Chain A
């Protein structure tokens, strides 16, 4: 949050036509400039930024330091690339522009993009640097583009001469896949001393695709509600996945024994709707059935209900109603094997389950069960298939019996 006036020196010399930074060196530079302007004005609203060229038509100030971002972006349009960059003149002009800033309380900073070769000696650069330090001006250098054998050392010497208490920085950006602006975001040029890091971090998350350590690419500082919502839905999804995995495991182990399968089905359905099953059990006990057969049936149903059913009281009632109709068949089935009790009752259930829309509506009323949940759908499908199988068997058996 340092109050600063910044002059950005753009290198628009012939060397900027090169395409080793996508799309061209000059474009990459322009993007970086835009980002920096945004960062500076965001970190402190009273900050001002100015832009000037080092080459092209000559050393010219395009925009005097202003906090109006629009002006700065507009002046970058229609810039010509050509000629050679004049670094020392540019720095002098930048110093002058900063000296005449409106708010004298602002710290002075120059950010220079140097993409063309540096023709000055180290000594000359060091004197330039000393002069800047004397006038309390900080200097940041972005060294990109042309790489002489000596360019990095020269620029390092320049920054060392200017640097007082770590306020000046230099960044070397080699050509490569990463955009110039992306590389710059993580540097102290962007992040400032400490204060600017909040913006820089969120800018990193927003601008760079490989987001810097934020979950779901959303900065909790910028958008806490969104971040929270994303996190919650992630957890819910995880829970659902685990439930599905559990069911799958159970179903696969239960496939060997149909009884077990049916019971496991009921179990898994129970997993979805446990609380309701207790209610249905209670309901069931309330139902008056005096017939022995009905009583047996009732017991069987009760057993299966307690093991687990889809659990809705309505379903139980419907099953009961149907059970009354198919009493005899059911009784026979019961006699066949006690183990099949749950199965037969399951057949009732299966009939109910056949009516998918009915089931869906039931499930809708259940707490904690989402009928659109793929796991529930799978379950219903499997129940449906199983139910049909069991039904066939039941029908076969009673028919055999009848015969």
Chain B
């Protein structure tokens, strides 16, 4: 089993202090953006000019100017289905210091949730981000055992760092492995990058 070491290994982050260290893909893990089923991605309470695509898609998420913003209030409910069953290992959230997310609840395999039933089930995992996480590209470890068989992931952003009315997220990256087509040789290649 690919028991990966946490990614924020200082040795690997070779960038000098002022610039933000590039996120290191954890050993044995893959960036799951390739396995996202884009036709089913939904986000409740998003601002129509700042949609979830800005935070998830390759290229968009690396652009500093493009971000996901909430609309009526500061909560966001993001639904991400995958094209195949995956295991989630860790996640990365990037956002502005003030409006970036603080409390995040993750639900695995719960379809079509609404804001009214976020409190109905216990989350698969619950994260409490600090501004470090948002700014320094620090990966957050997830409870791996809870995310062994993930078909879809629901991310509920409860509030943001400063408590403002609008939450903003610049990037969401998920790392893990696929269940069916895990190829150890491929993993090795990625690690070398």
Contact = CB atoms under 8 A, between A and B. Distances in A.
B34 interface: no
Contact of A164 (B71, B112, B115): B71
B156 to A, nearest CB: 13
B48 A134 contact: no
9 contacts: A130-B73, A131-B72, A133-B72, A134-B45, A134-B72, A135-B115, A136-B45, A164-B71, A165-B48
Interface string A134-158: 1110000000000000000000000
Interface string A204-221: 000000000000000000
Contacts of A165: 48
Q: Is the interface of B mostly helix, strand, loop or mixed?
A: loop
Interface string A86-109: 000000000000010000100000
Query: Which of B44, B72, B75, B111 has most chain A Cβ within 10 Å?
Result: B72
Given A104-B111, A134-B115, A164 B44 contact: no
Given A99-B116, A104-B111, A136 B71 contact: no
A133 B115 CA distance: 12
Interface of A: 99, 104, 130-131, 133-136, 164-165
Nearest to B71: A133
B6 interface: no
A6 B142 CA distance: 39
Interface residues of B, number: 12
Interface in B106-133: 111-112, 114-116
Nearest to B43: A136
Nearest to A127: B72
A254 to B, nearest CB: 77
Contacts of B114: 99, 135
Contacts of A135: 44-45, 114-116
A135 B114 CA distance: 7
B116 A134 contact: no
A134 B111 contact: no
Nearest to B40: A105
B112 A134 contact: no
A131 B73 CA distance: 9
A164 B45 CA distance: 10
Contact of B48 (A99, A104, A164): A164
Interface string B39-79: 00000110010000000000000000000000111010000
B71 A104 contact: no
Nearest to B45: A134
B70 to A, nearest CB: 9
Nearest to A161: B72
A131 B72 CA distance: 8
B160 to A, nearest CB: 16
B19 to A, nearest CB: 37
A136 B44 CA distance: 7
Contacts of A99: 114, 116
A134 B75 CA distance: 9
B72 A130 contact: yes
Contacts of B48: 164-165
A305 to B, nearest CB: 81
Give me the 4 closest cross-chain CB pairs, A-B, nearest first. Answer: A130-B72, A134-B45, A104-B112, A134-B72
Nearest to B70: A134
Nearest to A133: B72
Contacts of B111: 104
A133 B73 CA distance: 10
Contacts of B115: 134-135
Contacts of B45: 133-136
Nearest to B117: A99
Contacts of A130: 72-73
A165 B46 CA distance: 12
Given A104-B111, A134-B71, A134-B115, 8 more contacts: A99-B116, A130-B72, A133-B45, A134-B44, A134-B45, A135-B44, A135-B116, A136-B44
Contacts of B73: 130, 134
A99 B117 CA distance: 11
A138 to B, nearest CB: 13
With most chain A CB atoms within 10 A of its CB, the pick from B75, B114, B115 is B114
B90 to A, nearest CB: 29
B110 to A, nearest CB: 12
Nearest to A162: B72
Nearest to A164: B48
A134 B111 CA distance: 17
A99 B75 CA distance: 18
A178 to B, nearest CB: 35
B79 to A, nearest CB: 11
A338 B177 CA distance: 114
